[in-house]
A and B are shown apart, each in its own frame.
Chain A
Amino acid sequence: MIRFDNVHKRYPNGREALSGVTFSLERGELAFLTGPSGAGKSTLLRLVALIERPTRGTVLVNNQNTARLPRRKIPGFRQRLGVVFQDHKLLHDRSVFDNVALPLVIAGATRRETERRVRAALDQVGLLGRETHPPITLSTGEQQRVGIARAVAGRPDVLIADEPTGNLDPELSREIMQLFARFNEVGVTLLIATHDLELIEGMPHRRLKLVDGQLAADSGKAA
Chain B
Amino acid sequence: MSALLRALGRYVDLHLQNFVDALRRLAGQPFATLMTLLVIAIALALPAGLRVTLSNLGAVSSAWQVAADFTAYLKLEVGADRARALAREIDARDDVAQVRLVDRAAALAEFRERSGLGEALAELDGNPLPDALVIRPTSGIDADVAAVAAAIRSLPEVDLVQVDTAWVARLRAILALAGRVVNLATVLLAVAVAMVVGNTIRLEINQRRVEIEVTKLVGGTDGFIRRPFLYLGLCYGLGGAVLAAALIAVTLALLAAPVRTLAGLYGSDFELAGLSLRELAILIGGGALLGWAGAGLATARHLRAIEPT
Contacts and interface: CB of A to CB of B under 8 A. Distances in A.
A106 B220 contact: yes
B147 interface: no
B224 A91 contact: no
B219 A79 contact: yes
Given A51-B307, A51-B308, A93-B211, A106 B217 contact: no
A136 interface: no
Which of A51, A77, A90, A150 has most B Cβ within 10 Å?
Answer: A51
B218 A91 contact: no
A34 B76 CA distance: 121
A22 B229 CA distance: 42
Interface string A47-67: 001010000000000000000
B218 A108 contact: no
B219 A91 contact: no
Interface string A126-143: 000000000000000000
A106 B218 CA distance: 8
Given A51-B307, A108-B10, A110-B6, A75 B221 contact: yes
B13 interface: yes
Contacts, number: 57
A72 B307 CA distance: 13
A61 B140 CA distance: 80
A105 interface: yes
A79 B215 CA distance: 10
B14 interface: yes
Contacts of B216: 75, 78
What does DSSP make chain B's interface, helix, strand, loop or mixed?
helix
Interface in A55-101: 72, 75-81, 83, 89-91, 93
A36 to B, nearest CB: 22
Nearest to B21: A94
A103 interface: yes
B13 A102 contact: no
Nearest to B224: A106
Contact of A49 (B213, B217, B220): B217
Contacts of A102: 214-215, 218, 220
A72 B225 CA distance: 13
Contact of A83 (B7, B13, B217, B307): B217
Given A51-B309, A89-B210, A110-B6, A75 B217 contact: no
Nearest to A80: B219
Interface string B10-26: 10011000000000000
Interface in A141-158: 150, 154
Closest 6 CB pairs of A and B: A79-B219, A78-B219, A75-B221, A103-B218, A75-B219, A106-B220
Interface of B: 6-7, 10, 13-14, 210-211, 213-222, 224, 307-309
